[in-house]
Amino acid sequence: MNLCRSCFLPPPHHQFRTPTPFRSLYAPCRLFSIRCNVPFPAEKTKFRRELQAAVDVVQRACRLCVEVKRSLLSNGDGGVVEKNDQTPVTIADFGVQALVSLELGNLFPSIPLVAEEDSSYLRTSFMKPDENGNHGYSSLVESILKAVTNNVSCRSLSCGDVLQAIDRGGKSAHAFGSKPATYWVLDPIDGTRGFLRGTESLYVVGLALVVEGSIVLGVMGCPNWKTDFVSDREVAPEDAESENHHSGLGIIMAAQTGCGTWMKRTSDFSLNIDTIGLHDCWMRCFVDKCVNVDEAKFCIPDSQSWDSLPLSTFFVPTTDSGNNGRTTDSGNNGRTRQVVLLPTCCGSLCKYLMVASGRASVFILRARAQTVIKVWDHAVGMICVHEAGGKVSDWKGSQLELAADKEARRIIFPSGGVLVSNGSLHQKIVEMISIDSSMN
């Protein structure tokens, strides 16, 4: 029998025909794949039931997003509203939160949900009186009900049920106190602006489980992941919009403590929901192996500029179109140092996904006084990056404190900002941030 020279295991321990990005990013013997509906063996999965539920509901949520997006593209922006903080929210945001709340509430009724939305805006702005003066539900709320009903496992729902499910994750739903707690954390759509831009920007559904203060598992779904897993090529926007091509786009990423981070392609969303993902192959993910900052690939928030970050002291951006999106610094005795600044993808979880899958080396975010950093923008990304071999901290290198908001568990307060890396670069960048701070 032929054995691999590196790890001395027989085929098929490698997935030889695995398409990029995985094959091009990792040494062959570091990539493993398995076929099952969750990526971890039962004996290693303490929270297997919770993980299976999370994978299933995130896949359902991704399908809901695709359905709503098709409707929005064909019917205009009637399903988009603007919240008090001037951020957009769609039928899909509310629908995903209701769907996840209903499914997890049915399976794990004692575990609270911490999530981004609540129904107060829908109740105050979109309730309308009927001809008898009784207040009913607007077409927007009815559209949310339709989106949820199409994807939920229990079919008999009312508008009131959906609003109540949304509020189960709202800010007034649960008070935790100062002790370690167990709860789900959900970002129904991370990158709503990207969701509204057609296929130009990625968006993510993110779900994590915190047990006694520690993140134990996380699942991210990206319905419009831009790599065609089958033909090994980047997908053109016009192809991505076609119904026949969509099955090659979606991905699910899952991680559990001590079991690594894994990714699989989702099946065609036009299929029956019970068949989604059951025959897809999970592939293990690792962060990239970059060890030099000037060879790293960076992601930054679309709301922040490179000049606002400490690394701008060391690397100066250039608008040279022939430089392939790089930043340069002609210091260091005239030698040019470079880092790749990747195109913007909306939302923080999208950037965590990029680091965990090895497509980016670093994601750096500055904490600003006027901006509240929400836990759902980071929780699932933290475990996916950590289990892929990376590291997440504040700008001083300290661990992010999930329980800093003792009562609601909704806000984190990282010193300086959030730093996400492949691990090898982490301390170097922390030191650069420290040098920059001492200079200012």
Phi, psi of 336 (to 5 degrees): -85, 125
Write the DSSP assignment of 185-203 as a string of letters.
EEEEEE-HHHHTTTTSS--
d(CA 169, CA 42): 30
Q: In terms of Cα–Cα distance, which of 202, 206, 285 is closest to 240? A: 202
How large is the angle between the packed helices 48-75 and 139-149, nearest 10 degrees? 130
Please identify which of the residues 18, 45, 93, 187 carries the catalytic annotation.
93
How large is the angle between the packed helices 139-149 and 159-167, nearest 10 degrees? 80
Beta bridge partners of 64: none
- Taking the CA atoms of 179, 180, 185 and 190 in sequence, report the sign of the dihedral they define: positive
How large is the angle between the packed helices 139-149 and 91-107, nearest 10 degrees? 50
Q: Which amino acid is at 284?
A: R
Instruction: Kindly list the distances between the CA atom of residue 97 and the CA atoms of 216, 221, 275, in Å, as whole numbers in the listed order.
Output: 21, 14, 22
Write the DSSP assignment of 62-100 as a string of letters.
HHHHHHHHHHHHHH-STTEEE-TTS-EEEHHHHHHHHHH
d(CA 365, CA 351): 10
Q: Which amino acid is at 171?
A: K
Question: Where does 223-296 show beta strands of DSSP type E?
Answer: 227-228, 233-234, 251-256, 260-265, 281-285
Question: Two tokens at 210?
Answer: 């915190």
CB 68 within 8 A of CB 151: no
CB 210 within 8 A of CB 185: yes
* CB contact set of 399 (below 8 Å; sequence gap of 6+): 393
**192 is a catalytic site residue:** yes
* Angle, alpha carbons 115-394-298 (nearest 5°): 90
Beta bridge partners of 328: 316, 338
Can you tell me whether residue 440 is helix, strand or coil?
coil
Q: Which amino acid is at 215?
A: I
Instruction: Kindly list the distances between the CA atom of residue 230 and the CA atoms of 29, 154, 191, in Å, as whole numbers in the listed order.
Output: 21, 34, 26
Please identify which of the residues 18, 45, 192, 327 carries the catalytic annotation.
192
Q: Catalytic residues, which ones?
A: 93, 192
